Structure 1
Amino acid sequence: MPFQAVFAGTGSVVKSVFVVLSSMAPFVENRGSILLAAALDVKWYLAYVGTSIGSFLPVPFLLRAGERGMRQLRRFSPAAKALDQVEAFSHQHEAFLQRHGYLALALIISVPFTGIGSWAGVLLSNMLGLDKKHSTAAILAGIIVSGFFTTAGAYGLFLGVRSLIRLW
């Protein structure tokens, strides 16, 4: 059954809620959810705002959990692998991260192709011992910029493909 057929006949509210909920998932976040929204024909501005909010919602809770939360995550094999990858990234770029702190955190999250989103940004913040309030602002800034680039790219790509299909 085609993916689009699953949501055939459902209203835009149901699609939008599904997109927002998917944006809360680790590593999917706003990048994957914006692509999903474009595939479901959700309006670009609803996708941008909804996925930005959805990607940010878990951040305060994850920052609050801190080191205790990371220890609990390590109990699960897939999460432990992801934590190891984030730790390797932080060790590889430790000088840059320490020197530029919050700006580096926002910059790393804002580049859609790094694979580091809000969840990994929280882990980086906890590993580096950054202030939670400033980290929250940096992560939000990264989410907003990443969402902008991803929305522009995804919706531009989908519009281009649709235009080509109509020409044939």
Structure 2
Amino acid sequence: MTEGLVHFFINIFGGLINMPFGKEIIIFVVSLMPILELRGGLIAATLLHVNPVIAFIICLIGNMIPIPFILWGITPLFNKLKTLKKVDKWVEKLEKRALKKKDKIEKAEFWGLMLFVGIPLPGTGAWTGCLIAALLNMNKKKSLFAACLGVLLAGLIMMIVSYGILGGIIN
């Protein structure tokens, strides 16, 4: 699924590819996005033949930027949205969906959040992990640190997958 979404974004932003820093902009935007995050950014970087070190740094930054906004801002935003008739059900559904995965984080808090964010499996990542941490009212500073370490772990794993395995297939 991630690879299909990456191809979709590459096609949308395809005009950027030939511009200065166009490939880097693409992988940065992909890394900012929920679901895709750093995983999708590194796959895109491999497909676009971006230098691995540059790709790693850009994707780390792109995936880490949303973390504090989610941790400190999502609960007040959701509370405000729940007062609106047209979106209240959607917000509640999103909260329930995120909290289904809370067992993976709740028991070990810091380490649970770090591993949840860091092990690149479908439905995990910084966006979901931070949403769960915020909904569980976990310590925000510890959650920020755990999520950033998780992004770093996911980046290292995805570098091996993207530039090692996928890179070997492409080249």
TM-score bracket, normalised by the shorter chain, equals 0.7 to 0.9
- The alignment of Structure 1 onto Structure 2 pairs a total of residues equal to 158
**2:124 matched to which residue of 1?**
116
Letter paired with 1:59: I
Alignment of 1:6-85 (within 5 A): 6=14, 10-11=18-19, 13-71=21-79, 75=87, 81-85=93-97
Q: Is the 8 A contact 1:73 1:80 kept in 2?
A: no
CA radius of gyration, larger in: 1
Q: Compute the RMSD of aligned alpha carbons.
A: 2.7
Letter paired with 2:158: T
**Pairing 1:87–2:87 present:** no
Deviations 1:54-88 (A, max 9, x none): 00001111212141223456728877654432111
**2:6 matched to which residue of 1?**
none
**1:166 matched to which residue of 2?**
none
Q: Equivalents in 2 of 1:158, 1:115: separation in Å? A: 21
TM-score between the two structures when normalised by the length of structure 2: 0.79
Paired-residue identity, %: 23
Structure 1 unaligned regions, length at least 5: 164-168
Deviations 1:10-54 (A, max 9, x none): 156210122112211111110111111111111111111111110
Q: Equivalents in 1 of 2:59, 2:89: separation in Å? A: 27
Q: Is the 8 A contact 2:78 2:91 kept in 1?
A: no
**1:134 matched to which residue of 2?**
142
Equivalent position SS for 1:89: coil
Q: Equivalents in 2 of 1:104, 1:47: separation in Å? A: 27
Q: Equivalents in 1 of 2:65, 2:15: separation in Å? A: 25
Q: 1:159 aligns with which of 164, 167, 170?
A: 167
Equivalent position SS for 2:101: helix
Letter paired with 1:98: E
Structure 2 unaligned regions, length at least 5: 1-9
Letter paired with 1:53: I
Q: Is the 8 A contact 2:27 2:41 kept in 1?
A: yes
Deviations 1:108-162 (A, max 9, x none): 1110014211111111111221111111000000000001101111111233214
TM-score between the two structures when normalised by the length of structure 1: 0.80
Higher RCO, 1 vs 2 (CA within 8 Å, ≥6 residues apart) = 1
Q: Equivalents in 2 of 1:100, 1:67: separation in Å? A: 22
